[in-house]
Amino acid sequence: MSISSDAELAGMQKISECVAMVLKAMRKHCKPGMSTLELDEFGGKMLEEMGAKSAPKLTYGFPGYTCISVNNAVAHGKPSADIILKEGDLINIDVSAELNGFWGDNGGSFVLGEDINNHQALVEASKEILQLAISQIKGGVKIADIGKLIETQAAKRGLTVIKNLAGHGIGYSLHEEPHDILNCYDRFNTTRFRKNSVVAIETFISTKSTIAASVAGDDWTLFGNKGGFVAQHEHTIIVTGDKPVILTEANGIWD
């Protein structure tokens, strides 16, 4: 989407605030002993109360309102009554939704309670790299250069990136052009960020893996090809000629 009217701006602000508030509330509500299904239903109820519809349900028939990935799961985690959250778990929640024809997307990884499994450094790296990447985005910047920055920053910390998951354009649907805002450098991608466009920028920072894929028995949850752990953080932003406007800032993932 390219913002071209006050109505479009207002629509994107409203849905972005909605998904941001749900993500923040789910993080706060999350407790050891709770199942990911319980946590998802809490988020789903909030979305419904706001009049919003779950984007993964609406678009893909996903069996949950939100994606909740725990520990070794990389992304698209399917909520389940059998997955019980524990102290020290690495948890990722991704909330995307539609409201009045506009779509918003955001996500974040965090450690539940005390960091007994030493995941916090990975979480901090993902947050820092996303913040740096977003600060460099403006109209005319090559998308591939942002991917290179993310990959380089991860390597400086002794980490890798997931190369087959990407940020994307958003607005009138969940995924729009540009589709491949990768976490790595793609020399064949000459596309540039366009002023006034709306994009979802996300980091997938990994301790070992570089590719995410599904495994037998789930069909939704993605795991890394080399194991390890992944932290993801995501904001929906408006590209400008200067600093981007962060539409999902209310989620507090940088707090």
What are the extents of the domains in the chain? 6-251
Its pTM stands at 0.97
Q: What is the pLDDT of residues 54-95, one digit of tens each?
A: 999 999 999 999 999 999 999 999 999 999 999 999 999 999
User: Which residues belong to the annotated binding site?
Assistant: 76, 94, 105, 168, 175, 202, 234
Distances 96 to 39, 93, 234, 236 between C-alpha atoms, Å: 15, 10, 11, 10
pLDDT for 217 beyond 80: no
Q: Is 240 left (phi over 0), alpha (psi -120 to 50) or beta?
A: beta
User: Which residues belong to the annotated binding site for a divalent metal cation?
Assistant: 94, 105, 168, 202, 234
Which one is the CATH code of 6-251: 3.90.1200.10, 3.30.360.10, 3.90.230.10, 3.40.640.10? 3.90.230.10
User: Which residues belong to the annotated binding site for substrate?
Assistant: 76, 175
DSSP classification of residue 251: G
Of the pLDDT bands very low, low, confident and very high (cuts 50, 70, 90), residue 216 is low
Could you tell me how many residues make up the chain?
255
Q: What is the pLDDT of residues 153-193, one digit of tens each?
A: 999 999 999 999 999 999 999 999 999 999 999 999 999 99
